[in-house]
Structure 1
Amino acid sequence: MPAPDSTRAAVLHGPGDLRIESIPLRTLGADDVLVTVDAVGVCGSDMHYFSSGRNGQNVLRQPTVLGHEASGTVTATGSDVTLEAGTRVAVEPAVGCGTCATCRSGRYNLCPFGVCFGSPPTHGTFSERIVAASRAVHPLPDSIPLEVGALIEPLAVAVWAVQRAKVRFGDRVLVTGAGPIGILVMQVARAAGAAEVIVTDVNDARLERARALGASAVLNTAEKAPELSGIDRLLECSAHPAALWQGIRTLRPAGRATVVGQAAPSVDGLPLAHLQRWEIDLVTAFRYAHAFPTAIALAAEGRVDLAGVLTGRFPLDLAADALRAPVKDPSHLKVVVRPGDTTARSAAEARTP
């Protein structure tokens, strides 16, 4: 059967203006696959676009489908694709152009020419179907449910962050921010061999979830900075400059701080003299490169609990509610949109099988 030429999708026209519409699908190329989308995770970037029409320095300039954390089933393939229809996959949203010097070096996450699903003006995955390059889809083992497969993308973020942080066996690790990325970073750091992983936040519900999923200790920093020292690795996942500055002070000499949460364009207060005096490395992490296979393996082996961060599900017609949910209820961690599921639920029913 010929591939469809259109799909229903949630299209953002402006701040707070999300409409369910039929949009055209691009023609299936020789190296493309058609994916019927099962689930799409709601990311903080989606929420920023929805609330203000921008995320960092990128601005919504034309109607765009949001979403980039997707899983689904391959239902059609181009002539050069060896993957079979019916394969369950996680979708990698940004794979670079594949030909520039940066991509050829292996760091395709830094490609200056690449595009990313759901990053305006590129249409994303809050859609019943998408067309993707075959190299952007990763088969899922049977042990990973499709709905949970949508969380492979944020898990890949965590894998790359821990790799950039150079977490080693026996390390003491501090993770600032107990959102979905922070909790996944905590689990990956434990899987990488960290002896102790401490998580800080200002939300007790999120801290309790971090504890339940394996944090060695949790600290609420709403009233005072963490009284810690001798930390080997800091992974800052809250995007609050104060958390980074406070976390740096906990590091041992020659420790390493990694910025994971989306940074503001510029920030004041960098303790440069302190970094220099103690030769503390300050590095950043942006998306990931070649991290999906590791993320899938960690989830398949049960070394990371993805279902434990899933707190809500919504049908495509209620995608706007999904984008509002973590703001209305800060205890939410990861919310998913189920484009093909008209029975998707939310809130207290979210964890019901």
Structure 2
Amino acid sequence: MSAPVNELYDPQRVLHSAEFKVFARDQFPQKDIKQNLAAFTNPRHDLHLVQKPVPTPGPGQVVVHVRATGICGSDVHFWKHGRIGDTMVVSDENGLGHESAGIVYSVGEGVTQWKVGDRVAIEAGVPCSKPSCDFCRTGRYNACPDVVFFSTPPYHGTLTRYHLHPAGWLHRLPDNVTFEEGALLEPLTVALAGIERSSLRLGDPLLICGAGPIGLVTLLCARAAGAEPIVITDLAPSRLEFAKKLVPSVRTVLISREETSKDVALRVRKTLGIEPALALECTGVESSVHSAIYSVKFGGLVFVIGVGKEMQSMPFMHLSANEIDVKFQYRYANQYPKAIRLVSGGLLNLKPLVTHRYPLEHAIDAFDTASDIKSGSIKVQIVDE
């Protein structure tokens, strides 16, 4: 029993509440489990904590006490730049965060699959689920035009102590999966969607561009899927060292901004010892996409997982003369159950990815760390006991 999502999360009602209490950036509120703190930004690029009401679940809804939330690059981008593509922070305040897991705090009328105390991961993208929506009806719900994706304006994110969510878009966490791992399921689903749509096969020689959080999770997935050999590229030596700790057999290529994409491609092929059949591009940076294109063999595939600038050029004739396919990905669909099985079953160890942890009351410090390349962070998480 549930109401249409767009009625439950009317942006006019959600975003213009006068009940918010805003804390100064350098103000750290004392921990109070009754306070519903959240991390917000606005069109002025401020970043601060706010106190908002603890939600009351309606029919088909659940309130989750969020125990762990990872900071995504998109959260930092909305804070720093105020937009991603056509999506802009246009309200006075907008809540951040979409990589979350926690405990069921209260349930609304008609909710029978959840009870208070259940451990859950939150799937942040909630489609309309109407029979008239072709994308929802055919299982490609990531393309639903009426999706509510928490943390994408105009909808507040899940980086809050108490989050209201539709009961049908929560996923049960097994006892052996921690809340931190539950929060990491969201970036894992991105990688799994890429692995699935790229049709990676056992024994495929593979290039992964970018050793950030998505690139590293993609590396773990590709190793589990049987890609061999694998090479990963990045600008930061520390991230390549981290990749070697995660997957000792991976080969690494440290690139510089002065190199041409063709030069990078030559080094990738030399390091790999073979032309890769597939490149999983996890940065969205134009020069990196070009390096991937020049690296793969005739008839190869460049699959772009990363999100980059709106308009980019492509080496058209090289693509054409070498029959190289380029494919893209938009978020994910139908990946959470698989992700939970892989983590619970021990095939993927996500725990090393969390390098920094901050309490909810210090969420601003967490964002400072996540946005500072010199911090050495991979995944910064905000936790609440």
Give the TM-score of the pair, scaled to structure 1.
Answer: 0.91
Whether the 8 Å contact between 2:55 and 2:162 is mirrored in structure 1 is no
Residue of structure 1 in register with 2:336 after alignment: 292
| 1:315 paired residue number | 359
Letter in 1 for 2:288: A
Which residue of the partner structure matches residue 380 of structure 2? 335
Please report how far the alpha carbon of residue 94 of structure 1 lies from its aligned counterpart in structure 2 after TM superposition: 0.1
Tell me which residue corresponds to 1:10: 39
Deviation at 1:11, TM superposition (A): 2.1
State whether structure 2 residue 317 is matched by structure 1 residue 273: yes
User: How do 1:81-160 and structure 2 match up within 5 A?
Assistant: 81=111, 82-99=113-130, 100-160=133-193
Contact 1:50 1:323 in 2 (8 A): no
Letter in 1 for 2:290: W
SS in 2 for 1:120: coil
Output the CA distance in 1 between the equivalents of 2:158 and 2:282. 24
For 1:161, the equivalent position in structure 2 comes to 194
Matches within 5 A, 1:166-315: 166-214=199-247, 216-222=250-256, 223=259, 224-226=263-265, 227=267, 228=269, 229-268=274-313, 270-315=314-359
The answer for the alignment partner of 1:72 in structure 2 is 102
Call closer, same or farther: CA 1:327–1:26 in 2, change over 3 Å: closer
Contact 2:42/2:79, CA 8 A, preserved across alignment: no
Question: Greater CA deviation, 231-240 or 316-325?
Answer: 316-325
How far has the Cα of 1:26 moved from its partner? 4.9
Asked whether the equivalents of residues 37 and 130 of structure 1 are also in contact (C-alpha less than 8 Å), the reply is yes
How far did residue 317 of structure 1 move?
2.1
Q: Is the 8 A contact 1:15 1:51 kept in 2?
A: no
Corresponding residue pairs, total: 336
1:43 aligns with 2:72: yes
C-alpha contact 1:9 1:23 (8 A) present in aligned 2:
yes
Between Structure 1 and Structure 2, which shows a larger proportion of strand residues? Answer: 1
Q: Is the 8 A contact 2:277 2:297 kept in 1?
A: yes
1:140 is aligned with what amino acid?
L
Cα distance in structure 2, aligned partners of 1:85 and 1:33: 9
Contact (CA 8 Å) 1:71, 1:90: kept in 2 or not? yes
How many angstroms does 1:5 deviate by? Answer: 11
Deviation per CA, 1:265-296: give whole Å up to 9, x if none. Answer: 1112x122222222211100111100111111
Distance 1:92 1:39, change over 3 A: same
Give, in whole Å, the separation in 1 of the partners of 2:230 and 2:129: 36
Structure 1 stretch 98-107 or stretch 300-309: which is displaced more? 300-309
Residues of 1 paired with 2:315 and 2:43: CA distance?
38
Q: Percent identity?
A: 36
Instruction: Please give the secondary structure, in 2, of the residue aligned with 1:20.
Output: strand
> Which whole-Å CA distance do the structure 1 matches of 2:293 and 2:202 have between them?
21
RMSD of Structure 2 on Structure 1 (CA) = 1.8
1:38-92 CA-partner distances (Å, limit 9, x unpaired) = 0110000100111122223211111011000000001212232222221111110
Q: Tell me by how many angstroms 1:238 deviates.
A: 1.5
Corresponding residue number in structure 2 for 1:19: 48
- The two structures have a TM-score, normalised by structure 2, of 0.83
5+ long unaligned stretches in structure 2: 1-32
Runs of 4+ in 1 over 4 A off after TM superposition: none
The answer on 1:34 being equivalent to 2:74 is: no
Superposed displacement of residue 6, structure 1: 7.7
- Deviations along 1:10-61, one digit per CA (max 9) or x if unpaired, are 2223444223222235541221111000011000010011112222321111
Residues 86 and 56 of structure 1, relative CA distance in 2, 3 Å threshold: same
Secondary structure at the counterpart of residue 225 of structure 1: helix
Q: Secondary structure at the match of 1:73?
A: strand
The farther-off stretch of 282-291 and 315-324 is 315-324
Between Structure 1 and Structure 2, the one with more helix by share is: 2
Where do 5+ consecutive residues of structure 1 fail to align? 342-353
